[in-house]
Amino acid sequence: MHIIVLLKLLLAHFIGDFLIQRDSWVKNRKDIGLKSIYFYLHIFLTAVLSYLFVAKWLLWWLIPLVFFIHLIIDIWKNYQKKTVKSFILDQTFHIVSLLIIWMLFFTQWTFTNLLIIWENGTEFWIYMLGYVIIIWPCGIFIREFTAKWRKQLKKENINESGLSNAGKWIGYLERILVLTFILTEMYSAIGFLIAAKSILRLNPKEETKSRQFSEYILVGTLLSFTITIVLGLLIKSLLK
């Protein structure tokens, strides 16, 4: 199957980028930048792994191709500040480049096929719409819906603050997980997710022992889950 080649390319990349690179190599690269021999060594080893994993022995050009593309991306990364955003962009560039190599040389896929999916891929657009709705519009709705209780907590000097934006990201992740569980029919996993969040956010040993704060958290959580479950079921019905 053609997909096996893509999986092998991705595996070679992740082994080369995360397993082969030792901490001492990374430190050396930080100290002397692009002059570090380890910078080029880990890229070369990644390219060789790609060739060995794919096991198409006549395609020797895969080594310089992967090496050159990986090198360009890592040079760009070398001039970026070390942040979550730069890490995500770096890995996205690597994965997309491997996906393009796979499509051009190991499958019958063309950019025309992608354009057809982009224009007429009903399932793709339904999924995209669903995830966008549960991440942003749903988050704003929940925030506005629970605003009156936040004001009440402030009036009664109940501390509902936490890590900066942590609650927002918890909401994003929980809705993404719930929607994914619904679409993949892993309904039991939703129960485990609710239980896990209850343990973390409603621990009586912490400040959340306040009944009012616990109720506030519970309302937001159940509202988030309810909207996502309803939307997930709606998406499943549309796909049918």
What string of DSSP letters covers 115-165?
Answer: HHHHHH-HHHHHHHHHHHHHHTHHHHHHHHHTHHHHHHHHHTT-----STT
59-104 pLDDT, tens per residue?
A: 999 999 999 999 999 999 888 888 888 898 999 999 999 999 998 8
HSE, side-chain direction, 13 A CA sphere, residue 198: 11
d(CA 237, CA 231): 10
- 127 and 231 part of one domain: yes
Residue-level pLDDT at 199: 65
Residue-level pLDDT at 123: 85
- 94 and 63 part of one domain: yes
- 75 and 137 part of one domain: no
Q: Which residues of the chain fall short of a pLDDT of 70?
A: 1, 109-119, 158-163, 198-210
Q: Do the Cβ atoms of 55 and 20 come closer than 8 Å?
A: no
d(CA 29, CA 77): 12
Residue-level pLDDT at 58: 92
- 149 and 205 part of one domain: yes
Alpha helices, H only, 184-240? 187-201, 211-239
On whether residue 55 sits in a domain, the answer given is yes
Binning the chain into helix, strand and coil, the percentages to the nearest 5 are 80, 0, 20
Express as a percent the part of the chain with pLDDT over 90: 36
- 196 and 146 part of one domain: yes
- 91 and 126 part of one domain: no
Residue-level pLDDT at 208: 45
Residue-level pLDDT at 229: 93
Residue 167: which domain range?
121-239
Residue-level pLDDT at 53: 93
Residue-level pLDDT at 204: 47
- 17 and 90 part of one domain: yes
Residue-level pLDDT at 132: 92
On whether residue 116 sits in a domain, the answer given is no
Residue-level pLDDT at 209: 47
Number of folded domains that form the chain: 2
Residue-level pLDDT at 117: 64
- 25 and 132 part of one domain: no
